[in-house]
Structure 1
Amino acid sequence: MRGTVRQRGRGVWQVQVYVGRDPDGRHRRKARTLHGSKRDAETALREMVSEVESGQHRPGDDHLTVPDLIAERIMMREPDWSPGTTNEARVRLRVHHRRADLPPVVKVRPQHIDKWYSDLRAQGLGPAKVLKLHVDLHAALDLAMRWDLIAANPADRVDPPKVPRSEITVPTDEQVRELIGAASDDMAVWLRVAAVTGHRAGTLAALRWSDIDLEAGSVVFSRAIARGSGGLVEKGTKADRADAVTLDPHTVAALRAHRTRMAERVLAAGVALEGDAFVWSADPRCERPRDPNSVGQRFLKLRRSLDLPDGITLHTLRHYAASKMLAAGIGSAVVADRLGATTRVIESTYR
């Protein structure tokens, strides 16, 4: 590791250490000026060399931009995030963070962040979207603190926009019956299971016949389907746990009829319906799951054909299930367990 000690004046020394090349290929050095003896300067040089060798100073740290820091954090967190979460973070990085007029990380101050948020609001960006950008930025600057690039997080001293609480839409019993009655056979079963269990489209799409016990009248949700950069992927549920849910006799009967139809379809393709076959699939052999996004698009077409309110979406069937259970006197903890949520979320959403 190369380093130099230069005397800049009486009792004034400059210590400089080469830290390597930055991402643009330019040579970078870390320098420090101190007052004292030459021995003090040589001690400081050894300490700086040790810091560089241990990775505490990286090439280009002084010039590291906020977007590049956020990009590094995304790469670090990607193994633990769902594909959807990763894709959304990359879209925010590309569309907003890359265009932010912010100085390098080591020079960011609260006033820079305040001005950026004001500019975003002036451009018409809503408070909820600005808040997501604030979460990205705050987490990235926390990472910079852990890397000893900055001593404090400037985002701590910035007030993010307050997001007004929005009212949720809960379909009525009549609207749910109308949707199920007008849907095609496989879509009708999907809507019934969604309305009864309250589970998300991703977990419904991941269901295999081995997850359903028609004799016991129960289903286990342990996986979810999400769209990643390379297409559909199977992952853990959002709550990262398996949820066993009991089914009413009418829903069990609907699933039995659906299984019979699927068995006939795969038999026409020359195979038998196996336990690992997906419950909902456009594939003749039921070996590939339905895309949750395509199911959502089918739902929107169905809703428009019935001239139902725009606020009713596939996800509002989750609100319907939760509201029905709470209205029946079921405790929020039990509802949370059934929906694969937390008690806090249930109580704050449906209070």
Structure 2
Amino acid sequence: TRRRVRPTTYEAYELNVRRLQPDLGSLQLARLDAAVIQATYDRLLQAGLSPRSVEQMHAVLHRALRQGLHWGLIATNPAELVAPPRPRKREMTALTTAQLQRLLMTTRNERWYPLWVILSTAGLRIGEALALGWESVSLETRRLAVVRSLQRQRGLGLVFAEPKTARSRRSIYLSVLACQALSEHRQRQQPPAASRAAWQDSGLVFANRHGGPQDSGSVTSALNRALLRAGLPHVRVHDLRHTTASVLLAGGANPKVVQDLLGHSTVLTTLNTYSHVTESLTHLAAATMDSVLELS
């Protein structure tokens, strides 16, 4: 499994296995039945584990038992007979166009402004943005290439890794606003002469104050402060990516174009993720049809 999944995914699998081990680790496969698995889930829920966490544990256990079935170690998969908790669908959170404008105006002259612009107009994941090198940016052609991601891995710290999926490797056409923000940022990024000896020239667009990779935790803290100053509701850093999609779709952008921008594997993923936006566009579609077919 380690060779077939991303390191962060493997760490999540390990965490789920450790959580299951106290209840199921000492059992022989022949004694592992649906009742035992269901009782384990119930105990973990009563102990305070979230329904989403238990659902993820079920997915890992179900997959492992399915592999055991393929190998002939068990005759049936007992996880098939278990009803895992179904967590409530997480509400999509995004800034409105007016709120985004307010955030950018409030932070216009601050260090983090270029990052907020890229995250909210180009739709990058935070790991993709923090891994971005200047060699992957062309201000002349207004192009940005996503070729890697920055992750924190247990025991290794911050490391560069492959993007989330094959479709995550993509070329993005930048807005004029984004190009202006990056151009100004590049000019300001050079440290003063007195600090150059300590500067680590990593070539990163969004480096830390010493020139090295930036931890996403600092980005979260910076966004929280910016939202507070701007008098805006709390959103996560990842919600700026949602803001990109919501603003574009609400403005009538082709879902296929939004899919390519975000690096989703299929356009169906985009439509399902932002169904709350696309549903509102049905009114626009109906009005357009009325306008086109209006009889004099």
Question: 1:278 matched to which residue of 2?
Answer: 204
Aligned to 2:97: 173
**Shift in Å at residue 294 of structure 1?**
2.3
Q: Which has the higher helix share?
A: 2
User: Partners of 1:272 and 1:113 in 2: how far apart?
Assistant: 54
**Partner Cα separation in structure 2 for residue 203 and residue 158 of structure 1:** 37
- Partner AA of 1:323 in structure 2: S
Structure 2 residue 183 is matched with structure 1 residue 256:
yes
Letter in 2 for 1:195: S
Distance 1:175 1:345 in 2: 26
Q: What letter is aligned with 2:251?
A: A
User: d(CA) in 2 for partners of 1:265 and 1:186?
Assistant: 15
> 2:106, 2:229 within 8 Å by CA — same for their partners in 1?
no
Could you list the per-position Cα deviations for residues 293-342 of structure 1 after superposition, in whole angstroms to 9, with x for gaps in the alignment? 321232223333444323x1111111110011111222222211110113
Report Cα offsets for 1:198-235 as digits up to 9, x if no partner: 11100000100011000011111111000011101111
Query: Residues 63-82 of structure 1 correspond to what in structure 2 (within 5 A)?
Result: 77-82=1-6
Flag the structure with larger Rg: 1
Counterpart residue identity of residue 112, structure 2: M
User: Does the 8 Å contact 2:32/2:78 carry over to 1?
Assistant: yes
Q: CA deviation at 1:78?
A: 2.0
Counterpart for residue 98 of structure 1:
21
Q: Following TM superposition, by how much is the alpha carbon of 1:178 offset from its aligned partner in structure 2, in angstroms?
A: 2.9
- 1:210 corresponds to: 135
What is the Cα deviation at residue 159 of structure 1?
2.2
2:38 matched to 1:114? yes
Structure 1 pair 298–136 and aligned structure 2 pair: CA distance change class (3 A):
same
Aligned CA distance change for structure 1 residues 137 and 309 (closer, same or farther; 3 Å): same
Looking at structure 2, the residues matched to 130 and 231 of structure 1 have their Cα atoms a distance apart, in angstroms, of: 27
Instruction: Name the CA shift for 1:307/1:85 in 2 (closer, same or farther; >3 Å).
Output: farther
- Closer/same/farther in 2, CA of residues 162 and 273 from structure 1, 3 Å limit: closer
Partner of 1:142 in structure 2? 66
Counterpart for residue 238 of structure 2: 315
Say whether 1:198 aligns with 2:120: no
Are positions 1:237 and 2:160 aligned together? no
Q: Which amino acid aligns with 1:110?
A: A
Classify the secondary structure of the residue corresponding to 1:227. Answer: strand
Q: Taking structure 1 as reference, are residues 272 and 138 closer, same or farther at Cα in structure 2, changes over 3 Å only?
A: closer
Secondary structure at 1:225 match in 2:
strand
Q: Secondary structure at the match of 1:216?
A: coil
The structure-2 alpha-carbon separation of the partners of 1:88 and 1:121, relative to structure 1 and needing over 3 Å to count, comes to: same
Contact 2:145 2:172 (8 Å CA) reproduced: yes
TM-score, normalised to structure 2, is 0.83
Aligned to 1:45: none
Opposite residue 339 of structure 1, the aligned amino acid is: L
**Range moving further from structure 2, 326-335 or 189-198:** 326-335
The one-character-per-residue Cα deviations of 1:266-313 (angstroms, maximum 9, x if unpaired) are 895169997x600011253x3x22122321232223333444323x11
**Residues 322-341 of structure 1: matches in 2 within 5 Å?**
322-341=245-264
Please name the residue that 1:123 is paired with. Answer: 47
Structure 1 residue matching 2:35: 3-state secondary structure: helix
Question: Which amino acid letter does the alignment assign opposite residue 248 of structure 1?
Answer: S
Q: Distance in 1 between matches of 2:24 and 2:66?
A: 20
Contact 1:181 1:188 in 2 (8 A): no
Which segments of 5 or more consecutive residues in structure 1 lack a partner in the other structure?
1-76
Displacement of 1:108: 0.7
**Secondary structure of 1:165's aligned partner:** coil
Partner SS for 1:219: strand
TM-score by length of 1: 0.70
Instruction: Give CA deviations for 1:30-75 in whole Å, capped at 9, x if unaligned.
Output: xxxxxxxxxxxxxxxxxxxxxxxxxxxxxxxxxxxxxxxxxxxxxx
Q: CA RMSD in A?
A: 2.4
2-structure distance, mates of 1:345, 1:302: 30
Aligned residues of 1:224 and 1:234 also touching (Cα < 8 A): yes
Aligned amino acid, residue 216 of structure 2? P
- In structure 2, what is the Cα distance between the partners aligned to 1:302 and 1:225? 23
Q: Deviations over 1:163-199 (max 9, x none)?
A: 3223211112232233333336331100001000111
Following TM superposition, by how much is the alpha carbon of 1:264 offset from its aligned partner in structure 2, in angstroms?
A: 4.5
Identity among equivalent positions (%) equals: 27
The one-letter code of the counterpart of 1:194 is L
Q: How many pairs align?
A: 270
